[in-house]
Structure 1
Amino acid sequence: MANTPQSKKRARQSERRQDVNKARRSRIRTFLRKVEEAIASGNQESAAAALRAAQPELARGVTKGVVHKNTAARKMSRLAARVKALTA
């Protein structure tokens, strides 16, 4: 348990950051789920649109420290490949 005033303050701050980061992560997952659903539907145009909407969200997650840079790059790359494969 936090004892000093500074450690109590840091505990409060980390709780707030945790809530913010949880909301950011949830938002990213929502955008990724929309891309997955569009891919599953087989509609290439809607999948491409959903991917274009998801890419900035993933990039924002990287800059905010919620998602690792390589993780975001891997997700974007794999989704883009799957969207591209819908045309074939």
Structure 2
Amino acid sequence: MSRASCKDGDKDRHTPILEDGSDTLRRVEIITGTGRRRRWSTDAKAAIVAESFAPGASASGVARRHDISPSLLFLCKRCVSRTLFGVS
């Protein structure tokens, strides 16, 4: 194996960030707001899951309408199915 690994040969890692040669950034962007984590009431969760079980409903479409990840909705549907029908 060569002594020059990708890490040692990576010249861009040691290039200064700014034109004047310093590595200090002058501007920081602060994002305010509630963030991505939301709190859903039990009733709201139940309504979303029930909507996804409606005949002809697409779980992905329901997830999009409520701005949640489809995988989260599929997980909730699986939990409800196991609870109601004893499916393992």
Q: TM-score, normalised by structure 1?
A: 0.34
Q: Larger helix proportion, structure 1 or 2?
A: 1
Q: Specify which structure has the bigger relative contact order, considering alpha-carbon pairs within 8 angstroms and separated by 6 or more residues.
A: 1
Structure with larger Rg? 2
TM-score in terms of structure 2 length: 0.34
